[in-house]
Structure 1
Amino acid sequence: MLDPARTIAELRALHGLTGDRHGAQRVAFTPSWNAARAFLLQKLADLPVTVETDPAGNLWATLPGESEQELWIGGHLDSVPNGGWLDGCLNVFAGLEVLRRIQGESAGRPPVTVRLVDWADEEGRFGHSLYGSSAVSGHLDPERAGVLTDRSGVTLRGALRGAGIDLDCASAAQAQRRKAGAYIELHIEQGPVLERLGLPLGAVLGTCGALRHLITVTGRAAHAGSTPMDARQDALLVLGRLSGEIYAVAERHGGVCTIGSVRTAPGIPTSVVETCEFTLDQRHLDPAGLAALWQDARASLTRFCEEGGCSFTVAELFRIEPVPFHPDLIDAGEQAILEVTRAAHRLPSGPLHDAAQVARAGVPAVMLFVQSLGGLSHNAAEDTRTEDLELAVRALDRLAERVMTWMGTRQAHGAADGETARRGR
């Protein structure tokens, strides 16, 4: 029997174990993240599932079914530093509750094989979002990813080595896709749309494309007291001008632009900034719009550097195109929502999610969103009403049932088509 209250209790227990007064601290490949996985494994021990960790570090729990075709229910336990109590882990523990219900009502043998997956480093501790699902989808470049560092200077390769994972072998995780039939994921919205509409749940159309660059502006260090303002080559001034301009860029082309990380050198009070390193994250639903955002921002950066006597270099950190979800599964998501509440809304996702990487690999996928109070996420104040969380677990469960039926119908049609083709030869 499905018990959404149990999911909420487990989420609160997890936060008590891996959070503090500043928020969630389940940063990937840290002791707190390991503790979160141990907590999940403890819960999985009560189910007749096999548990494995793939070469990229993703955790899989498999409940065998009558068919080897697989329904994946996915999420991620990792968080940003000082994050919210629901981001990512709601997906995992709601999926766990659905897995329990399916196992209990099918005498341990559902019509298809059901797999719960906890993706590794969805949040992008090293600037590469969706690391684990990228490995499974075939979109991980180990050479490029290996040199990425977190804000403390730890490399992705080094962190993985400490967790017993060889980055050069991570792409072998693609073997997990061999029998994948569909993927579903529940997530908090992380935005204000559903709250503004007064709706608890929404079916997700797809994810925006994202383009992320590391930009280094180089000027000239000079004494803060003796250098006139009009004689400075101040790298930070370039950033200051660009930080305002990206709002105009976003208004011109749609989408969003964010400067989220900044480091300066020499980094002392008595010197003009010589180098300023920062990230620029840009997102858009349309590939042409995403390209226009970057072209416009780069043109502005070039102009501001020329005006300030500075130069710049650019390194691409991450790129993913806009990803639409499967129309049949979007319909199924909307119907699942209508089974548990009065209305549904379809909306795109600005944030990235592992579902996008799964869909890129050709696996039919869809997501459900549950309302976020104040639209807040990546923030200790992140929250969702208890009653909405319970509805979300129920909707995910209804979606799982609908998708399993859809998979069976699709497989039957495929077999019938194959038999017709054989008879025609």
Structure 2
Amino acid sequence: MTAASVDPARTIAELKELRALTGNEDGAQRVAWTETWAEARAWLKAKLAELPVTVETDEAGNLWATLPGASEQALLIGGHIDSVPNGGWLDGCMNTLAGLEIMRRMAAEGTPPVTLRLVDWADEEGARFGRSLLGSSAFSGNLDPASVADLRDKDGLRLVDALAAQGVDLYQAKACGGQAAKAAAYLELHIEQGPVLESMGLPVGVVIGTFGVERHAITFTGQAAHAGSTPMDKRRDAFGAAAKLGLEIREIAKRHGGVCTVGSCITKPGIVTAVVAECTITLDQRHMEAASLAAMLQEAQDAAERFAVEEKCGVAWERIWQIEPIPFHPDLIALGEEATRAICGTVHLLPSGPLHDAAEVARAGIPTVMIFSQSLYGISHNKIEDTREEDIAYSVQVLDRLASLTMQWIVGHGAKEV
């Protein structure tokens, strides 16, 4: 077998090529199920056509490239080429193209010890219809087609119809779970999208898992009254109760080491001359530990009741969405540490606040780990999203080394655990 090496400079050049092809002065425009996204997919397929791989699109629209190995047990490397509107040049696609480079290296060496599969997940972002992780959740079996079929974009087009225009039957999407049959491990590289690694001066980190999420709408109900003639002690101010909760959830997060966010606030009647009769806020709570997440939620609920009494209001909660914390595989985390130390000299372990396709793969029972590359300013989903080119190069090399270590793990004992 001839030794070969990855070329991170080629990955960086291809990232810039993709940016030029599918972006504009406002940033990346590869929104899933659009013609620009399809153009990006065609570009990727052309790159894959230069390799001795088979390429297929599954029932959910996920794109798979397979390099056969000595064993049918497969190492999956995944990413997503879709973006948010006016997005950054690295979010998702950095992993896809880093995986392409690793596939090139392994193909040049001959037959790898296990099969290597690169997957470009469909619609990770959920930017057009609001349903994130669409392709990977179909793969994991956690997608309910009926619940998302009638979601509409800003132009009123239904999700089910947009997928059909790209050759995908939403109601058959979960059949793509068959792709998991020989999957022994899954790796995903992603920009951090946060400030931790930059604050520590580190190019790469290893991700221990994704936060659990509790997301609720909370409605306080008071009494509309004239803003001029109603004394302060006679008011039933729904906004007053909501405002108190908005401050308290920050302290709850600090106490538990999690994060809590009030992301929206809607008042009624919503005029400057009236005390607020109804105020609905959205609360997003995240933590890596299930018990801590549950405690954060309970404390927020208790606080909401207390502030409702103080402001002489009613309060009601409605769950918007929930997902449990998803820890990654301890063996693969250890291999990630080993690979990162070998390339970068030091390593930091951190959780992921955002969800990623890796979370759905882990939910499918496949051993999973993620690698984060430092994000400048902690900014993502924005055209100014950036990572130093030397840090991109480090991350490609770490992923490559991790892929080799993981293949050895699969051959040694990983396949028995799948």
Which of 187, 191, 197 is the aligned partner of 2:190? 187
CA distance in 1, matches of 2:80, 2:223: 43
1:25-424 aligned at under 5 Å gives the runs 25-106=29-110, 109-125=111-127, 126-146=129-149, 148=151, 156-215=159-218, 239-261=242-264, 279-304=282-307, 314-410=317-413
1:2 and 2:2 aligned: no
Could you say if the C-alpha distance between residues 31 and 288 of structure 1 is closer, same or farther in structure 2, counting changes exceeding 3 Å?
same
Unpaired runs of 5+ in structure 1? 415-425
Q: Is the 8 A contact 2:184 2:415 kept in 1?
A: no
More off after superposition, 124-133 vs 321-330: 124-133
How far residue 55 of structure 1 moved from its aligned partner, in angstroms, is: 1.8
Residues 245, 335 of structure 1: CA spacing in aligned structure 2 closer, same or farther, 3 A cutoff? same
Deviation at 1:336, TM superposition (A): 1.4
Measured after TM superposition, the shift of residue 7 of structure 1 is 0.9
Change (3 A) 1:258 1:25: farther
Number of matched pairs: 412
Of stretches 388-397 and 19-28 in structure 1, the one that deviates more from structure 2 is 19-28
Q: Tell me the CA shift for residue 181 of structure 1.
A: 0.8
CA contact (8 A) 1:146 1:156 kept: yes
Q: Distance in 2 between matches of 1:413 and 1:122?
A: 30
Secondary structure, counterpart of 1:29 in structure 2: coil
* Aligned residues of 2:79 and 2:357 also touching (Cα < 8 A): yes
Cα deviation, residue 281, structure 1: 2.0
**Consecutive unaligned residues in structure 2, runs of 5 or more:** none
How far has the Cα of 1:238 moved from its partner?
5.3
Give CA-to-partner distance per residue, 1:215-264, whole Å, 9 cap, x none: 56666778989999888877665554433332122123321112335566
CA separation of 1:196 and 1:82: change in aligned 2, threshold 3 A: same
Deviation at 1:373, TM superposition (A): 1.5
Q: Distance between the aligned counterparts of 1:261 and 1:236, measured in 2?
A: 12
Give SS of 2:209's match: strand
Greater Cα offset, 177-186 or 83-92: 83-92
Q: Which moved more, 1:211-220 or 1:158-167?
A: 211-220
- 1:28 aligns to what SS in structure 2? coil
Separation in 2 of the partners of 1:376 and 1:35? 26
Q: Find the residue that maps to 1:114 and give its secondary structure.
A: strand
Partner amino acid, structure 1, of 2:119:
V
SS of alignment partner, residue 366 of structure 2: coil
Taking a change above 3 Å as real, the CA distance of residues 44 and 231 of structure 1, as seen in their structure-2 partners, is farther
How far 1:116 sits from its partner (Å)?
0.7
| CA–CA distance in structure 2, aligned partners of residues 246 and 99 of structure 1 | 46
TM-score by length of 1: 0.85
Residue 248 of structure 1 aligns to a residue whose secondary structure is helix
Task: Quote the residue 1:16 is aligned against.
Answer: 20
Structure 2 counterpart of 1:418: none
Q: Compared with structure 1, are the counterparts of its residues 271 and 294 closer, same or farther at alpha carbon in structure 2 (3 Å cutoff)?
A: same
Distance in structure 2 (CA, Å) of the matches to 1:138 and 1:11: 31
Distance between the aligned counterparts of 2:286 and 2:44, measured in 1? 33
For the residues of structure 2 that align with 1:122 and 1:237, how far apart are their CA atoms?
Answer: 38
Q: Secondary structure at 1:123's aligned position in 2?
A: coil
- Alignment CA distance shift 1:298-1:42 (3 Å): farther
Q: State the SS of the aligned residue for 1:358.
A: helix
AA partner of residue 407 (structure 1): I
Mapped partners of 1:358, 1:327: distance in 2: 15
Structure 1 residues 412 and 255, CA gap change in structure 2 (3 angstroms): closer
Aligned-pair distance for 1:275?
A: 6.2
SS for the counterpart of 2:189 is strand
**Which segment is superposed worse, 274-283 or 371-380?**
274-283
Secondary structure of the corresponding residue to residue 68 of structure 1 = strand
Determine if contact 1:157/1:167 at 8 Å carries over to the other structure: yes
Q: Which range moved further: 259-268 or 289-298?
A: 259-268
Change in Cα spacing, 1:73 to 1:413, as seen in structure 2 (3 Å) is closer
Q: Which position in structure 2 is the counterpart of 1:421?
A: none
Q: Which moved more, 1:14-23 or 1:247-256?
A: 14-23
- CA–CA distance in 1 between the matches of 2:232 and 2:36? 47
Q: Conserved in 2, the CA contact under 8 Å of 1:376 and 1:382?
A: yes
Aligned equivalents of 1:270, 1:31: Cα separation in 2:
48
Letter of the 2:29 partner, please give it. Answer: Q
Distance 2:155 2:342 in 1: 47
Q: Secondary structure at the match of 2:181?
A: helix
Q: With the length of structure 2 as denominator, give the TM-score of the two structures.
A: 0.86
Within 1, Cα distance between the matches of 2:280 and 2:49?
A: 46
Residues 118-143 of structure 1, C-alpha deviation per residue, up to 9 Å, x if partnerless?
11222233444322212211222333
Confirm or deny: 8 A CA contact 1:127 1:317 kept in the other structure.
Answer: no
Please say which of residues 315-324 and 1-10 is displaced more in the overlay.
Answer: 315-324
Bigger shift: residues 260-269 or 279-288: 260-269
SS in 2 for 1:249: helix
Tell me the CA shift for residue 81 of structure 1: 3.1
